[in-house]
Amino acid sequence: AQSVTQLGSHVSVSEGALVLLRCNYSSSVPPYLFWYVQYPNQGLQLLLKYTSAATLVKGINGFEAEFKKSETSFHLTKPSAHMSDAAEYFCAVSDDTGRRALTFGSGTRLQVQP
């Protein structure tokens, strides 16, 4: 069975500060990992994904994430936060066995203070 844990349901940063959103996964097979962003009253939009190629993955809007197998982590970072980054962020895992749907973490709401 797969699972995802996102540490911190709410994260607040100042504009221009580093953004770090934490995600740890559990999977019995090599995982595929995703970060999605959800703006108010919108669906989910893919930020980036890890599919067993490069461990450092770059996504849209200046976000990146690093897959660390030894730590079972896939933390999301951005060097400098913008006001427009305020949203809810979801980490998700899937694989090619059994159910091929995404299993999501509980989400982290990012606030950006001016």
Partner 1 sequence: GAGVSQSPSNKVTEKGKDVELRCDPISGHTALYWYRQSLGQGLEFLIYFQGNSAPDKSGLPSDRFSAERTGGSVSTLTIQRTQQEDSAVYLCASSLSGAGNTEAFFGQGTRLTVV
Binding mask 44-63 for partner 1 (x = CB under 8 A): xxx--x-xx-----------
Instruction: Report how far residue 48's alpha carbon sits from residue 34's, in angstroms, rounded to the nearest whole number.
Output: 6
Min dist CB 82 to partner 1, Å, is 23
Return the residue of 63, 75, 105, 112 that touches partner 1, per CB under 8 A.
105
Instruction: Report how far residue 112's alpha carbon sits from residue 114's, in angstroms, rounded to the nearest whole number.
Output: 7
**3-state SS string over 14-72?**
ECCCCEEECCEEECCCCCEEEEEEECCCCCEEEEEEECCCCCEEECHHHCEEEEECCCC
The nearer residue to partner 1, 96 or 114, going by C-beta atoms, is: 96
Min dist CB 16 to partner 1, Å, is 30
Instruction: Report how far residue 44's alpha carbon sits from residue 30's, in angstroms, rounded to the nearest whole number.
Output: 24
- How many residues in the shown chain lie near partner 1 by CB under 8 A? 26
109 binds partner 1 (CB under 8 A): no
Return the residue of 16, 69, 99, 113 that touches partner 1, per CB under 8 A.
99
Assess contact for 95 and 27: CB atoms under 8 A.
yes
Interacting residues with partner 1 (CB under 8 A): 32, 34, 36, 41-46, 49, 51-52, 90, 94-97, 99-107
